[in-house]
Each structure stands twice: as structure tokens, then as C-alpha cells.
């Protein structure tokens, strides 16, 4: 499955994305508000995981490709997490800092959200965000999500933003 937006192509990851993804995931800006930069081996595990989800037909991550240059600039898509004892589907994203603040992640996140509700028939999606991660909070808000509760995730204070299918339908009617 490939998603298209005015400026982006969101495609499934492939094994030969390892070099570029290793470069991105070794970068501290790209990995802000995470456990930190990743080694090539850890990036390989990330790719194995998301390619496995694709193969199994599960909600998964997309590579963000800039139409203008063909550059693989980051990822946006679904993760599977246990949050407060319940399995949740999260929309998560990271973008090369060279392209921040152009609305690109919002464009990607909206396409992923629409895909989740329209094609995958999800009922509820969340985004897990550190309270100090203001850009990520803005992306979640622009994605129609609202702050639902605060928790601790992987040892960090975390805001849980969410949108229900019902809220998404209402949002679509208002556009
Ligand atoms: C979060 C991230 C993906 C956002 O990508 P992006 O393409 O720059 O996002 P957008 O351009 O769509 O939107 C960013 C918004 O944050 C706002 N913003 C940027 N820096 C900000 C700051 N320091 N304080 C408050 N708002 C800020 C921008 O103004 C914009 O909001 P606006 O449209 O209302 O003006 C990017 O910053 C990133 O990769 N960060 C590191 C990884 C990360 O934190 N991922 C999320 C983990 S939960």
C-alpha cells in the first residue's frame, strides 16, 4: 500500500532502506524524545519489525519520500504498544531536521490517520508524546487529536493524544 499527498509519497519500507535509515537513526535530532540514537544493528531490527508487520498485514510504518527529490526523509505510520495495560495503535513519526517546520509531518500524519480509519477500519488511534515535545504536540493537534490522559511510558512522562473513528468522521464532514 502506498499513500500519496501533494508533496509526499508514503511507501512501505524495504530491506535496502538500511543505509539511509541508519544515517537518520544515528542522528540525535532525528531521535529526539526517544531512547537515543540507534546503531546500524538497532536500525536493522526496526526495519525487520516494520517489514514483518507489512508482511503479516498489520498496521505498519511508512517511509516518507519527498516527491521533489526522491529523498527518504523519515517515517510516519503505525506502532503497536501496550499503554497502561492495554494494546494501542499509535501514529508515530520522525523527520530529517533539514525538513522541519514545513508542515510535511502533518501532511504525512493526516494521510496515515485517514488510511487507518478508511482502509484499515481502525476505531481509535493514539499518539504518545513527551510533554516538552512541542512540535510533536502540534502535529497531533493538527491531526485532529486531543489530549486524553497522562501516563509514564518507557520511564518517561507521556501525554496520550487520541482520535476516535467518530471524531474522524465529524472532522471529515467539517472539511
Ligand atoms: C515532531 C516532528 C516530526 C515534526 O515534524 P515537522 O515536519 O517539522 O512538523 P510540522 O511542520 O508538520 O509541524 C510542526 C509544528 O510545530 C511547531 N513548532 C516547531 N517548533 C516548535 C517549538 N519549539 N515550540 C512550539 N511549536 C513548535 C511548528 O510551528 C508547527 O506548528 P504550526 O503549524 O502550528 O506552526 C519533528 O520535529 C521531528 O522529527 N522531531 C524529532 C522526532 C520526534 O520528536 N518525533 C515525535 C516523537 S513523539
Q: Which run of H or of E encompasses 25?
A: helix 18-25
> Considering the chain, what is the average pLDDT of its residues?
97
Give 109 Cα–ligand 1 centroid separation in angstroms.
Answer: 12
Pocket test for ligand 1, best of 27, 106, 135 (most atoms within 8 A of CB): 135
**Nearest-angstrom CA–CA distance, 31 and 6:** 26
pLDDT score for 175? 65
pTM, entire model = 0.98
Say if ligand 1 is within 6 A of residue 24 CB.
no
The beta-carbon contacts of 94-103 under 8 Å, at least 24 apart in sequence, are 94/24, 94/30, 94/31, 95/30, 95/64, 96/24, 96/27, 96/30, 96/71, 97/27, 97/29, 97/30, 98/73, 99/66, 99/73, 99/74, 100/135, 101/135
**Calpha distance 168→89 (Å, rounded):** 15
Sequence-ordered strand ranges (E) for 47-132: 61-66, 72-83, 86-95, 124-129
- What grid cell was written down for 104? 510535511
User: In the chain, what's the furthest Cα-to-Cα distance?
Assistant: 45
Residue 172 confidence (pLDDT)? 85
Total domains in the fold of the chain: 1
N- to C-terminal Cα separation, the chain: 25
User: Which pLDDT tens digit goes with each residue over 52-66?
Assistant: 999 999 999 999 999
- What are the grid coordinates assigned to 61, written together? 510504518
Q: Is 132 in the pocket of ligand 1 (CB under 6 A)?
A: no
66 has which bridge partners?
A: 8
Would you state the pLDDT for residue 173?
86
Q: Domain limits at 112?
A: 3-174
Q: How many CB atoms lie within 10 A of CB 86?
A: 7
* C-beta 103 within 6 A of ligand 1: yes
- What is the rounded CA–CA span in Å between residue 114 and residue 3? 10
Q: Within 10 Å of residue 53's Cβ, how many Cβ atoms?
A: 19
- How many angstroms separate the alpha carbon of residue 139 from the centre of ligand 1? 6
CATH of the domain at 108: 3.40.630.30
Residue-wise pLDDT for 131-169, tens only, equals 999 999 999 999 999 999 999 999 999 999 999 999 999
Amino acid at each position: 500500500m502506498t499513500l500519496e499527498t501533494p508533496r509526499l509519497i508514503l511507501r512501505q519500507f524495504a530491506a535496502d532502506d538500511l543505509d539511509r535509515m541508519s544515517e537518520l537513526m544515528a542522528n540525535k535530532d532525528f531521535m529526539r524524545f526517544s531512547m537515543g540514537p540507534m546503531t546500524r544493528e538497532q536500525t536493522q531490527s526496526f526495519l525487520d519489525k516494520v517489514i514483518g508487520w507489512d508482511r503479516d498485514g498489520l498496521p505498519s510504518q511508512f517511509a516518507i519520500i519527498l516527491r521533489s527529490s526522491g529523498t527518504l526523509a523519515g517515517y510516519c505510520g503505525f506502532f503497536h504498544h501496550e499503554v497502561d495495560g492495554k494494546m494501542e495503535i499509535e501514529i508515530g513519526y520522525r523527520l530529517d531536521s533539514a525538513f522541519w517546520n514545513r508542515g510535511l509531518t502533518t501532511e504525512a500524519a493526516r494521510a496515515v490517520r485517514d488510511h487507518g480509519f478508511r482502509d484499515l477500519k481502525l476505531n481509535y488511534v493514539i499518539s504518545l508524546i513527551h510533554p516538552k515535545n512541542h512540535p510533536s504536540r502540534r502535529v497531533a493537534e493538527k491531526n485532529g487529536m486531543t489530549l486524553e490522559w497522562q501516563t509514564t511510558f518507557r520511564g518517561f512522562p507521556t501525554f496520550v493524544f487520541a482520535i476516535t473513528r467518530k471524531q474522524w468522521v465529524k472532522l471529515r464532514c467539517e472539511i
